Amino acid sequence: MKKSINLLIGTVLTLIFSVSIYIVDSYSLEKDNLELLILNNKYRKELKREIENINNISKCNSDDQECIKLSSSEKNLNYDTYKELLLRNLEESAIEEAKLEKIIQQEKQIEIKENNLEFIKGQWPVKEYEEVSSPYGYRVHPITSSLKFHRGVDIPAPENTDILSSDDGIVIFSGVQNGYGNVVKIKHFDGKVTIYAHNFINIVEEGDVVRKGELIAKVGSTGDSTGNHVHFEMIVNDKNIDPITGIEDI
Ligand SMILES: [Zn+2]
């Protein structure tokens, strides 16, 4: 009984989601494409979670007599139909997302051409902490003491301070990497990439669409680090640049 209720709730939620997407879609002229992309992205995440749930509950726990009592054909019929619907929605939303992504990229390219820019500048990733303890360029590495190129800037801030996305974009990596510790990498719609490293925790996941100024991680000292700070990198046309030159005037 509990499982049928779960299934029903799931179906109703999916329907509400589909309807809300439809409504938003019909007003798309008034909504900006990024908003639609974010909505679509959240919906797709929800679908993935639901499919995972279905995969889990269609396997009976050995101590769940209620689940075992259902004949397997009866159970599978329900789950299979529902799963099929979810998978179809997932496929459609992925296509929609790719379409929106392309449109936003084109909009940015127009903005770049019209203003004769190389890329679109972003915002500083930590509020109220503007000091740089270690600039971009050659420096004596604080841990190895050897002369090494520093590909970003270090911004000291207390542990757990919010780290904000420098611009609108899509998270291309969120996890742990050698040296970087917890690191978030974001690909922006104009093509630039920003990197935020040594985080205490990462808030966003790979595949998330983020807005400029959105919370993506918290300041920490993970990886090769001697204190709480954000190591912030900016990559334009596959080359690291001094992030200071890629930040808009306040
Ligand atoms: Zn650094």
- 126 part of a folded domain: no
Q: Give me the interface pTM, i.e. the ipTM.
A: 0.99
Task: Answer yes or no: do 242 and 177 share one domain.
Answer: yes
Rounded distance from Cα 169 to ligand 1 centre (Å): 22
Q: How confident is the model at residue 144, as a pLDDT?
A: 82
- 200 part of a folded domain: yes
Rounded distance from Cα 137 to ligand 1 centre (Å): 10
What values do phi and psi take at 246, rounded to 5? -105, 10
- 127 part of a folded domain: no
Gap between the terminal Cα atoms of the chain: 58
What is the Cα–Cα distance from 72 to 249, expressed in whole angstroms?
Answer: 64
Beta strands in the chain (DSSP E): 137-140, 147-150, 153-156, 162-164, 169-177, 181-188, 193-199, 201-202, 209-210, 215-218, 229-236, 239-241
Residue pair 32/92 in contact by the 8 Å Cβ criterion: no
Rounded distance from Cα 230 to ligand 1 centre (Å): 7
CA of residue 57 relative to chain centroid, distance: 28
Q: Around Cβ 140, how many Cβ atoms within 10 Å?
A: 11
Task: Answer yes or no: do 154 and 96 share one domain.
Answer: no
CA neighbours closer than 13 Å in the CB half-sphere of residue 171: 24
What is the Cα–Cα distance from 202 to 187, expressed in whole angstroms?
Answer: 16
- 130 part of a folded domain: no
Rounded distance from Cα 142 to ligand 1 centre (Å): 10
What is the Cα–Cα distance from 89 to 14, expressed in whole angstroms?
Answer: 9
Rounded distance from Cα 151 to ligand 1 centre (Å): 7
Domain ranges, residue 193: 137-246
- 13: its two tokens: 């939620």
What is the Cα–Cα distance from 197 to 228, expressed in whole angstroms?
Answer: 11
Q: How confident is the model at residue 250, as a pLDDT?
A: 64
Q: Choose among 24, 190, 214: nearest CA to 104.
A: 190
Q: How confident is the model at residue 15, as a pLDDT?
A: 60
Task: Answer yes or no: do 63 and 153 share one domain.
Answer: no
- 162 part of a folded domain: yes
Residues in CB range of 136: below 8 A, 6 or more apart: 150, 151, 152, 153, 240, 241, 242, 243, 244
In this structure, what CATH number is given to the domain that contains residue 201? 2.70.70.10
**Which pLDDT tens digits describe the chain residue by residue (250 residues)?**
455 556 656 666 666 666 565 555 555 455 699 999 999 999 999 999 998 888 877 666 667 777 666 655 555 667 788 889 999 999 999 999 999 999 999 999 999 999 999 999 999 999 999 999 999 999 888 778 888 899 999 999 999 999 999 999 999 999 999 999 999 999 999 999 999 999 999 999 999 999 999 999 999 999 999 999 999 999 999 999 999 999 998 6
Q: How confident is the model at residue 69, as a pLDDT?
A: 64
CA angle in degrees (0–180, nearest 5) for 123-127-130: 80
Task: Answer yes or no: do 22 and 84 share one domain.
Answer: yes
Q: How confident is the model at residue 18, as a pLDDT?
A: 65
Rounded distance from Cα 205 to ligand 1 centre (Å): 22
Q: How confident is the model at residue 213, as a pLDDT?
A: 97
**If DSSP codes are grouped into helix, strand and coil, which group holds residue 229?**
strand
Residues with CB under 5 A from ligand 1 (ion): 154, 231
What is the Cα–Cα distance from 214 to 168, expressed in whole angstroms?
Answer: 9
The domain total for the chain is 2
